[in-house]
Chains A and B, each alone.
Chain A
Amino acid sequence: MATQAHSLSYAGCNFLRQRLVLSTLSGRPVKIRRIRARDDNPGLRDFEASFIRLLDKVTNGSRIEINQTGTTLYYQPGLLYGGSVEHDCNVLRSIGYYLESLLCLAPFMKHPLRIVLRGVTNDQVDPSVDVLKATALPLLKQFGIDGESFELKVVRRGMPPGGGGEVFFSCPVRKVLKPIQLTDPGKIKRIRGTAYSVRVSPQMANRIVDSARSILNKFIPDIYIYTDHMKGINSGKSPGFGLSLVAETTNGTFLSAELASNPQGQGAAVLPEDLGRNCAKLLLEEIYRGGCVDSTNQSLALLLMTLGQQDVSKVLLGPLSPYTIEFLRHLKSFFQIMFKIETKPCGEELKGGDKVLMTCVGVGFSNLSKTLK
């Protein structure tokens, strides 16, 4: 166990981002072995290499060692530096893949982070920039990360496989995070959304809006779905369309759902009507799961609770996602923080799926500048 206190060792390619982000925040080196060792194409993928390069850009003094085949990675984190950065993200994954980790790291930089990310803004795998803007930013504000310079902007939209999108993200730096007490999600107050279309007929977005409203109008009158049609150089390199929906509750919780069309040349063509209806149903599913943080941001909320002041934080979540469960295990090994987990069965006032009340005491941000041993 003496070696574990010094550096952590993992095997396999799963949860690479989690491990590297937590390693950076805790200051503990991490060694990852057997990355796709038995695969026909062994080693790190290009998008993972791009992620490691991004980490190298925002930190100062990181040591990264990768073996010849790329199956073993040793990462000794440096200090989070921040400042103005530009990064070309790999088009295999969307900018959301990179942005999710940056959202975890940005509040703890030495200098406020101002970063331009280029690549795919919306795809079918990762949370899109629109959804992160609508859900993750309000969540960070709950922790006291706020200000004029806190913004996330889609400058250009890029769809896979070509990409060509551009996103600007800037985040202020905070000394301490506020502990949160989010135990009452409230009731759904309004639904907002963005239907986007690039390099296809602008009418696509309108068809998506109509079909999504056909389902959502039965539940709540306050619905507004923006249509976003970008033209020229702002429309990226590939055609596509999609929809992201966000439901806001009376207590300031944001629950999101999204769908995007199949990339050009892959899979069958998607009808915008189907896409709109399915996305609306996904939003209803997300509302059924409920909680004070939507399922894409569960791990972000838990991380910021862990890194808060030495005070009790509470958050009510919907059913934990597999990613979040693994994240909890990682939080335990990197920060020695174990959450108190209480299941709250759906009673009279708590409609929908079973909820989980997560409670923890923060490690205290002041400890982070030192190396945690």
Chain B
Amino acid sequence: RDISESKVVGDYSKAGLLQTNGLSKSLNLESSLTVNKATLAISDSGHCTAEEAFASEDETEESSSLNTEEEDSENEEVIRKKFPKSSQVAGDQRLGSENLIGETSDVEDLLKEEEDYKEENDYSTETSGALKWKEDLSRKAAEAFLRQQQATPNLRKLIYGTVTEDNEE
């Protein structure tokens, strides 16, 4: 009996370990995701205008969303399994968190490198050709406003006379 019980316990613990591994993995992924998102946000504010930047972000977002979906399903399974053995979970999570810190730092480094790469990409390709219409926007707006002012008759002046115009100024 004892042997069988211990075996069972061992099995349980093994299963628990496996599951905790899964959990730690998912946790790692999650944390990396958050980091990923954060870096994305930074790069967004930097170069939100360039088209290619948008495209690449979209891709990464899509992939990350896929990841999250997968992880969510994994997490759910894990959690369902784990709930009856909460004590084990607590112990394993400590292990997992240790792993997690190590991995996240690696991921951050990777992402930083990616970020740098992206920025170079943005400056080299986008601003040179595609955004010429953005040049002198304020001057163009001023010209359009003056054109409009000259083209349309000043009804206010016609109706109320020139005296009122002087008063306003």
Query: Which residues on the A side are within 8 Å of B164 (C-beta)?
Result: 332, 338
Query: Which residues on the A side are within 8 Å of B153 (C-beta)?
Result: 343
User: Is the CB–CB distance between A328 and B152 below 8 Å?
Assistant: no
Query: Which residues on the B side are within 8 Å of A63 (C-beta)?
Result: none
Query: Which residues on the B side are within 8 Å of A332 (C-beta)?
Result: 160, 164
Chain B: minimal CB distance from A335 (Å):
13
Which of A320, A343, A345 is the most central at the interface, judged by chain B CB atoms within 10 Å of its CB? A343
B interface, size bucket: under 10
User: Is the CB–CB distance between A345 and B152 below 8 Å?
Assistant: yes
User: Is the CB–CB distance between A329 and B160 below 8 Å?
Assistant: yes
- Indicate if B55 sits at the interface (CB-CB under 8 A): no
User: Is the CB–CB distance between B152 and A356 below 8 Å?
Assistant: no
Please report which residues of chain A, range 241-290, place their CB below 8 angstroms from some CB of chain B when the two chains form the complex: none
- Indicate if B147 sits at the interface (CB-CB under 8 A): no
User: Is the CB–CB distance between B152 and A338 below 8 Å?
Assistant: no
Chain A: minimal CB distance from B62 (Å):
37
Chain A: minimal CB distance from B163 (Å):
11
- Indicate if B156 sits at the interface (CB-CB under 8 A): yes
Which of A329, A341, A345 touches B155 (beta carbons < 8 Å)?
A341
User: Is the CB–CB distance between B159 and A329 below 8 Å?
Assistant: yes
Q: A356 vs B164: C-alpha distance in the bound complex, in angstroms?
A: 20
Chain B: minimal CB distance from A249 (Å):
24
Q: Give 1 or 0 for each of B139-169: 1 = CB within 8 Å of chain A CB.
A: 0000000000000110110111000100000
- Indicate if A372 sits at the interface (CB-CB under 8 A): no
Q: Considering the complex, give the chain B residue whose CB is closest to the CB of A358.
A: B155
User: Is the CB–CB distance between B159 and A325 below 8 Å?
Assistant: yes
Query: Which residues on the B side are within 8 Å of A343 (C-beta)?
Result: 152-153, 155
Chain B: minimal CB distance from A315 (Å):
14
Query: Which residues on the B side are within 8 Å of A356 (C-beta)?
Result: 155
Q: A339 vs B158: C-alpha distance in the bound complex, in angstroms?
A: 13
Please report which residues of chain A, range 300-346, place their CB below 8 angstroms from some CB of chain B when the two chains form the complex: 320, 325, 328-329, 332, 338-341, 343, 345
Query: Which residues on the B side are within 8 Å of A340 (C-beta)?
Result: 156
Query: Which residues on the B side are within 8 Å of A338 (C-beta)?
Result: 156, 160, 164
Q: A343 vs B164: C-alpha distance in the bound complex, in angstroms?
A: 19
Query: Which residues on the A side are within 8 Å of B152 (C-beta)?
Result: 343, 345
Q: Considering the complex, give the chain A residue whose CB is closest to the CB of B155.
A: A341
Chain B: minimal CB distance from A351 (Å):
18
Chain B: minimal CB distance from A151 (Å):
35
Query: Which residues on the A side are within 8 Å of B158 (C-beta)?
Result: 325
Chain A: minimal CB distance from B74 (Å):
53
Q: Considering the complex, give the chain B residue whose CB is closest to the CB of A340.
A: B156
Q: A320 vs B159: C-alpha distance in the bound complex, in angstroms?
A: 10
Query: Which residues on the B side are within 8 Å of A329 (C-beta)?
Result: 159-160
Please report which residues of chain B, range 3-40, place their CB below 8 angstroms from some CB of chain A when the two chains form the complex: none
Chain B: minimal CB distance from A18 (Å):
14
Q: Considering the complex, give the chain B residue whose CB is closest to the CB of A324.
A: B159
Please report which residues of chain A, range 43-59, place their CB below 8 angstroms from some CB of chain B when the two chains form the complex: none
Q: Which 6 A-B pairs have CB atoms at the shortest separation, nearest pair first?
A: A341-B155, A343-B152, A341-B156, A328-B159, A325-B159, A343-B155
Chain B residues close to A by CB (< 8 Å): 152-153, 155-156, 158-160, 164
Q: For the A-B complex with A332-B164, A345-B152 known, give 6 more contacts whose Cβ atoms are closer than 8 Å.
A: A328-B160, A329-B159, A338-B160, A341-B155, A341-B156, A356-B155
Q: Can you give 18 A-B contacts (C-beta < 8 A)?
A: A320-B155, A320-B159, A325-B158, A325-B159, A329-B159, A329-B160, A332-B160, A332-B164, A338-B160, A338-B164, A339-B156, A340-B156, A341-B155, A341-B156, A343-B153, A343-B155, A345-B152, A356-B155
